[in-house]
Amino acid sequence: MEQFYHRFFDALPIRSVASDEDLHLLNPQELRLVRQTERWALVAAVLIELAAYLIIFMPIYEFPGIFDTATVRLGGPFVTAGEFHWLRDGWMLLVTLIELYVLLLLNLAAVHGISVATGYIRRDNKAGETGALIRIALESRFMELQQFGIDPFERMHPWVLFLYLAFNRLKGLLGSVIIRAVLANVFGREMLRVYLDFSGMPLYMAINAYTTYAILRNARVVVMGQTSIEIVRQQLPALTATGWEAGLIYDTLQFIAVNKGDFHANHYHLSKAIIEHFSIALEAAHALPPDYLDKLKTARQPVADVCRLIIVLGFLLDGTLSRRERRQLARLNQQGILRLDYAELEAYRRAFVDGQGLDGITGHVLRSI
């Protein structure tokens, strides 16, 4: 399938766009095209869900004698006797799988459109840029961060991690089951079957739209992030970090990963740039020490400022700020590690996502070096 995805991606047309060479910045025309691409992708994701529901249930309603009578009797010592509507359930599964595949192709096309609009893909460089973009469209985790010994799930219990990942994958199904149960409980047997069948459609429409939005936002920040990180790397001071100081910088990369609680391509590129710039020796696994913040307070100013910059960039580079990060920001300000309130950080995040780069926050943090 990977070969097919590459062929499909490469076959998509590249329209002429007046983009510039600054991939980390979006000019007004580029930003307009990006937002236009995001809008049509969201509409398409919702319409695909609507079409899937109609394709599933219209034949079932039109030919009830075929779909409702094709059953298999289930029973046994550990199974309550009942009927399994194999044709109806098989039809629903088939259409759902086709829908998911169509949504995947939509995401590939939309990510391609974002990349063309930003100037990341041009006619002369398309062949070499498809791999990372396809992974974004497929929602593949950027596990390469582990090669630096950095683990975003370090402090998460395995069962909690399992339930977290399972819920993210099954939230649509769980939500639909809950909605059907609530409606059946409130209205009882008087509730028409068509209402129950279509009750989950708004939820799945919302999930499709949100998933597509998240993928395209991620594509945008990854496209701009790689160039932005390289520019930040060129602005880093030429420090000779001692073993203790290199370890503190390493701790900071793990601190960001743990706070984000997930893998992201931009965090990989940031970690790679920092580790190479300061010649930090890699470890198989680098755990975050419990006294990390106390160590950061005692570091000499240039090293502490580099760590502060890594923290702030780590908050920004995936394009989102969670409630947990907001609490962590308040804690860092309370301890005197940062002097940056949430409104300022949110303004920097919005500027980065809208294609204004990271020069402002980099200058703000490194002004004393």
Q: Render pLDDT for 300-354 as a digit per residue (tens, 0 to 9).
A: 988 999 999 999 999 998 888 888 889 999 999 999 898 888 999 999 999 888 8
What is the pLDDT confidence band of residue 363, given thresholds at 50, 70 and 90?
Answer: confident
- DSSP symbols for 280-308: PPP-S--PPPTTHHHHHHHS-HHHHHHHH
Q: Determine how many CB atoms are found less than 10 A away from the CB of residue 42.
A: 17
> CA quadruple 328, 332, 333, 335: dihedral positive or negative?
positive
Tokens matching residue 339: 């002097």
- What is the distance between the alpha carbons of residues 302 and 249, in angstroms, rounded to a whole number? 11
What is the pLDDT confidence band of residue 251, given thresholds at 50, 70 and 90?
Answer: very high
Q: Residue 76 above 70 pLDDT?
A: no
Residue 116: predicted pLDDT: 83
- What is the distance between the alpha carbons of residues 150 and 260, in angstroms, rounded to a whole number? 12
Helix axis angle, 201-235 to 86-118, nearest 10°: 30
Tokens matching residue 109: 């096309």
CB proximity list for 238: less than 8 A, separation 6 or greater: none
- What is the distance between the alpha carbons of residues 197 and 244, in angstroms, rounded to a whole number? 61
Least confident of 93-97, 115-119, 221-225: 115-119
